[in-house]
Structure formats: structure tokens, C-alpha cells
């Protein structure tokens, strides 16, 4: 898959089959749309193109604004779309210039001249151009003029996409990992770097790799203990993950940690991916490290049981 960080980097392809959207989560509803563009591209010997917008203007104007939380970082989204076999991903910022174009200007300059659209797969509610004046009607009217076909995504499918994204975000925020994973079609994951902690973990026999996520807009599941797998340098290991502020030791920061099973390597500064499979229990304030240690032994038994066969 080729990635372009601005629409101007893209050179129009012969038979582009295009869809446009945010695709946050690249969940089962999105996968249906992607399967459709691939099918259409195969029919005409064309190439699939996804136009997505990033960053959101609010992220640029108010970097301190914590209200935007996304299921995927832009890099995770690109990796997921690549796995699905998309040919081209155009990531374009929501600039003023971009959104000030007239509907026809956008169709002619962007979709036709810059991308080379032959088929566009689009939802009934998709809006574009100045004041969001452009829509499906304009595409249907101008398709014959500029030589492209419009394939409308059924209303039900569009609604399913929106419902799924909301459900996934809510499920993750409520610790309902299994439910989120059902809508996603894959285990929810985070990507980050292993950093040093207080080194208490190894003293109690449970070293925990602390993971820091660079992207502030990444949605972090609610606090708790999870059955997880971690990808380190391309290898997958099972483990028990923790998200919380470590009330037992009066921790201040909210940490993401994992004790990795059957593992004994120093992995500070390593870039890792943590896949969440099941929710195990809530974060608890224990009377001390001894009590926590007893619970950790039980957590390990529970996690191994949950991950057996996975």
C-alpha cells in the first residue's frame, strides 16, 4: 500500500476506485466497504484508493484538548488498511483550502484530476466542499460529465458503521473488551514504547513493562486487568496487562503495564504492540504489596485460562 501525506503527492491512477471516510477502528462495517471497493477494482482492473482526513482541525488548534479520542492512531489505521490489501491511502489534513472548495470544484479538481476516480463508493450522507454543500446528488449529477460512476453504500450499512464506532468507543471506555473486539473483528490494540518505572515490579516477582503512547488522541480502555498478548520485535507473548494509577502504592500517573509470561529480557525503549483479549477484574487498592502479590498469582491463573487456545 502506498501512503500519501497530502493529496498533492498523489499522481492520478488509471482506474481509481475510491472511497472517503475516517475509518476509525477499521471495524467490520468498514471492512464491508473496503471489500466492495476491492471487488469493483478487480472488475475493471483498477486500483483502490482511500481518502482519509487527519489530523482533525481541533487537534491542531487545541493540542491540549483531550476530547478527541480515536480507536486507532493514524499509523495503526494505515497498517490495518494495508493488511486489507488497499492499494493507496491518501491522508489529507482538513485544511481551510480543502474545505472551501465548491462541490463541483472538489469533484473536478480532487476526485477527477488529482485522483483519477472511475468509481466512487460513498454513503448517502457524505458531505463535502464549502459549508458541506456537496453531497451524493452532486456526485450523481457530475459523474456522467466527468466519466465516473457512483456506487451508493446502503443506508443500513452506513448506519451500522456509525453505530459500531460509537459502540466500540463506549465498550472500551467501560472495560467491555470482548464486546469491542466483536465489533472490531480483531483484538483492540495499542502501540507504544517501553519506559522505566519505579522498579517495584521485579521486587515482588512480577516485572511489568510500562508502555507509553505518544499519540494523545489514542483511546485508552478503562482501568482494570486484562488478558493480553504483546508483540515484541515480531514475536507474540502472552501476559497480564494493567491499566490504572496503582492505588496500592499510591501511584499518581495512569500507567499501562504488562507482566509477560515466560519472558525475561530487558526491553526498555522497545516499540511494542499490546493486544487486549479479555477483561479480568477491576483495579483494587490492596493493603500492601503482599496482598497484591497473592492477587497477581490468581490473575495469572485466570489469564492463562482465558488465553488457552488463543
Ligand X SMILES: Nc1ncnc2c1ncn2[C@@H]1O[C@H](COP(=O)(O)OP(=O)(O)O)[C@@H](O)[C@H]1O
Length of the chain: 310
- CB nearer to ligand X: give 118 or 238: 238
How many amino acids of this chain bind ligand FMN (CB under 6 A)? 23
| Binding-residue pattern over the window 208 to 237 for ligand X, x denoting contact by CB under 6 A | xxx---------------------------
The enclosing H or E element of 257 equals strand 255-260
Supply the minimum distance, in Å, between the C-beta of residue 195 and ligand FMN.
Answer: 10
Binding to ligand X in span 194-213, by CB under 6 A:
194, 196-199, 201-202, 207-210
The C-alpha atoms of residue 123 and residue 120 are separated, in whole angstroms, by 10
Query: Bridge-partner residues for 18, per DSSP?
Result: 49, 120
| Residue from 92, 126, 76, 80 nearest 10 by CA | 92
Nearer to ligand FMN (CB atom), residue 122 or residue 272: 272
Phi, psi of 89 (to 5 degrees): -120, 115
Strand partners, 226: 241, 279
**Using the rule CB under 6 A, which residue among 44, 263, 273, 289 binds ligand X?**
263
Task: Choose between 2 and 300: whose C-beta lies nearer to ligand X.
Answer: 300
Q: Specify the residue for cell string 486489507.
A: 84
If the CB atoms of residues 14 and 198 are measured against ligand FMN, the closer one turns out to be: 198
Q: Which helix (H) or strand (E) holds 60?
A: helix 57-61
Question: Which is nearer to ligand X, 81 or 260 (by Cβ)?
Answer: 260
Q: Residue 156 and residue 154: Cα distance in Å, rounded? A: 5
Considering only CA atoms, which of 95, 8, 30, 23 is closest in space to residue 56? 95
Binding of ligand X by 265 (CB under 6 A): yes
Q: Which of 55, 93, 185, 201 binds ligand FMN (CB under 6 A)?
A: 201
Q: Interface with ligand FMN by CB under 6 A: which residues?
A: 197-201, 206, 208, 210, 225, 240, 242, 246-249, 257, 259, 283-284, 286, 292, 296, 299
In the complex, the residues that contact ligand X under the rule CB under 6 A are 194, 196-199, 201-202, 207-210, 259-260, 263-268
Amino acid at each position: 500500500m502506498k501512503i500519501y501525506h497530502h493529496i498533492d503527492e498523489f499522481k492520478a491512477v488509471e482506474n481509481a476506485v475510491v472511497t472517503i471516510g475516517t475509518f476509525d477502528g477499521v471495524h467490520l462495517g468498514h471492512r464491508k466497504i473496503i471489500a466492495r471497493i476491492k471487488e469493483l477494482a478487480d472488475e475493471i482492473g483498477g486500483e483502490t484508493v482511500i481518502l482519509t482526513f487527519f489530523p482533525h482541525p481541533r487537534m491542531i488548534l487545541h493540542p491540549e484538548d483531550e476530547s478527541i479520542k480515536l480507536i486507532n492512531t493514524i499509523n495503526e489505521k494505515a497498517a490495518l488498511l494495508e493488511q486489507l490489501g488497499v492499494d493507496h491511502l491518501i491522508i489529507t489534513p482538513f485544511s481551510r483550502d480543502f474545505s472551501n472548495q465548491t462541490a463541483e470544484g472538489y469533484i473536478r479538481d480532487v476526485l477527477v484530476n488529482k485522483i483519477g476516480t472511475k468509481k466512487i463508493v460513498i454513503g448517502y450522507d457524505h458531505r463535502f466542499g464549502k459549508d458541506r454543500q456537496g453531497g451524493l446528488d452532486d456526485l450523481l449529477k457530475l459523474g456522467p460529465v466527468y466519466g465516473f460512476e457512483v456506487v451508493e453504500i446502503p443506508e443500513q450499512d452506513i448506519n451500522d458503521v456509525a453505530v459500531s464506532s460509537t459502540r466500540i468507543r463506549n465498550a472500551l471506555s467501560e472495560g467491555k473488551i470482548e464486546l469491542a473486539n466483536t465489533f472490531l473483528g480483531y483484538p483492540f490494540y495499542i502501540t507504544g514504547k517501553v519506559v522505566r518505572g519505579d522498579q517495584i515490579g521485579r521486587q515482588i516477582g512480577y516485572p511489568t513493562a510500562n508502555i507509553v503512547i505518544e499519540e494523545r488522541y489514542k483511546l485508552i480502555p478503562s482501568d482494570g486487568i486484562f488478558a493480553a498478548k504483546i508483540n515484541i520485535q515480531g514475536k507474540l507473548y502472552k501476559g497480564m496487562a494493567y491499566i490504572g494509577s496503582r492505588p496500592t502504592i499510591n501511584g499518581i500517573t495512569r500507567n499501562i503495564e504488562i507482566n509477560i509470561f515466560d519472558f525475561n529480557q530487558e526491553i526498555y525503549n522497545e516499540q511494542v504492540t499490546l493486544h487486549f483479549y479479555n477483561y479480568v477484574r477491576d483495579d483494587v487498592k490492596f493493603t500492601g504489596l503482599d496482598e497484591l502479590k497473592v492477587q497477581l498469582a490468581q490473575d495469572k491463573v485466570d489469564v492463562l485460562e482465558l488465553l488457552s487456545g488463543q
